């Protein structure tokens, strides 16, 4: 039996998603509990795969893992600390969660004086297919990527920037956001961003903090059965109460 599980996690609790020696990572903790409870024998035998390898500090409510297993994997995973089960689906043996329709990443900003119009103009420059060599940490992968849509919404003092695409490079969104933030603060114009996208010149815009970035969802041609843990509901009420008590103070 092969199962796909949509997971969430607080990135501040881990040294990233991917396994690292002597570090607490999302992937490492999941594999450890699955092997300990004999849900899987080992990673290779279970064909354990994931949709996205998020950086240290980046959170998720829509990453996806898949593996072959025996026993009640959902019950085991629901007992994890700092990893939340958002949903599940039983899938074909050849399912690989990397082969998605698209992913949605959201970056949260607190509006402390942005020119929101210029911020939006800068963000939408990244739509379409580009060579992102100057906006990513480049490895052996092809630096050309397509971004289907970038949207900017504002609610109160919070600005949300959504990037929708099938795949992204290492640090790509955080480096794009660093440029977007500078444009919103009127430190740069859109010309500098376009020059980098066209590889006319290289500008170091920096890298935006990881803690504000969330992998919001990963979409396929099927739906997941929702299965939210009680921790999610408690966190929601906790934060709702905090806002209610202090909003007007």
The residues that are catalytic are 55
Token pair 């815009």 is found at 205
Q: Residue 13: left if φ>0, alpha if ψ -120 to 50, beta else—which one?
A: alpha
With 0-12 / 13-18 / 19 or more C-beta atoms within 10 angstroms meaning exposed / middle / buried, residue 32 is middle
């Amino acid at each position: 039996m092969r199962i796909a599980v949509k997971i969430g996690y607080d990135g501040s609790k881990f040294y990233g998603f991917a396994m690292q020696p002597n570090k607490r990572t999302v992937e490492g903790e999941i594999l450890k509990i699955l092997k300990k409870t004999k849900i899987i024998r080992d990673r290779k035998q279970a064909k354990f795969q994931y949709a996205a390898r998020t950086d240290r500090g980046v959170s998720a409510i829509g990453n996806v893992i898949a593996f072959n297993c025996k026993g009640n994997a959902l019950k085991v995973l629901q007992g994890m600390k700092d990893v939340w089960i958002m949903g599940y689906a039983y899938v074909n043996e050849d399912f690989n969660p990397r082969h998605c329709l698209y992913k949605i990443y959201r970056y949260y900003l607190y509006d402390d004086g942005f020119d929101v119009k210029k911020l939006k103009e800068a963000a939408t420059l990244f739509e379409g297919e580009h060579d992102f060599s100057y906006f990513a940490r480049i490895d052996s992968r092809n630096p050309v990527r397509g971004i289907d849509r970038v949207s900017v919404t504002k609610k109160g003092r919070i600005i949300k920037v959504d990037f929708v695409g099938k795949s992204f490079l290492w640090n790509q969104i955080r480096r794009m956001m660093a440029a977007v933030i500078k444009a919103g603060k009127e430190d740069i114009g859109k010309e500098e961003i376009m020059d980098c996208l066209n590889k006319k010149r290289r500008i170091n815009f920096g890298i935006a903090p990881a803690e504000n970035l969330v992998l919001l969802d990963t979409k396929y041609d099927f739906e997941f059965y929702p299965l939210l843990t009680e921790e999610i509901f408690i966190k929601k009420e906790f934060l709702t109460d905090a806002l209610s008590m202090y909003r007007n103070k």
